[in-house]
């Protein structure tokens, strides 16, 4: 099994991990593995589009186009 060394963890993040591991009754290593497994098992937006397209195709709909990339910017008041 592979090992992974994580460096430069901010103290606040490390404390949150420690608390979360304690709440779930796991070691910090086991908690990190559970977090990674949960996050990496989530479908990507592209996977969601494929699933929705397959659903629509079954019922006579048309495939969806992915939304264009949108840049979000803050509007600043001119003062």
Quick one: pLDDT at residue 14? 95
- Render pLDDT for 5-58 as a digit per residue (tens, 0 to 9): 989 999 999 999 999 999 999 999 999 999 999 999 999 888 988 888 888 888
| pLDDT tens profile 52-74 | 888 888 887 776 676 676 656 55
The gap from C-alpha 75 to its chain's centroid, in whole angstroms, comes to 28
pLDDT at residue number 35: 96
Neighbours of 52 (CB within 10 A): 13
Residue 75's pLDDT band (cuts 50, 70, 90): low
């Amino acid at each position: 099994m592979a090992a992974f060394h994580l460096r430069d963890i901010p103290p606040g993040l490390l404390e949150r991990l420690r608390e979360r591991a304690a709440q779930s009754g796991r070691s910090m290593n086991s908690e990190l593995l559970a977090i990674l497994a949960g996050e990496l098992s989530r479908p990507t937006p592209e996977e969601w589009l494929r699933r929705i397209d397959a659903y629509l195709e079954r019922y006579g709909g048309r495939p969806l186009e992915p939304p264009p990339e949108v840049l979000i910017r803050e509007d600043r008041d001119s003062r």
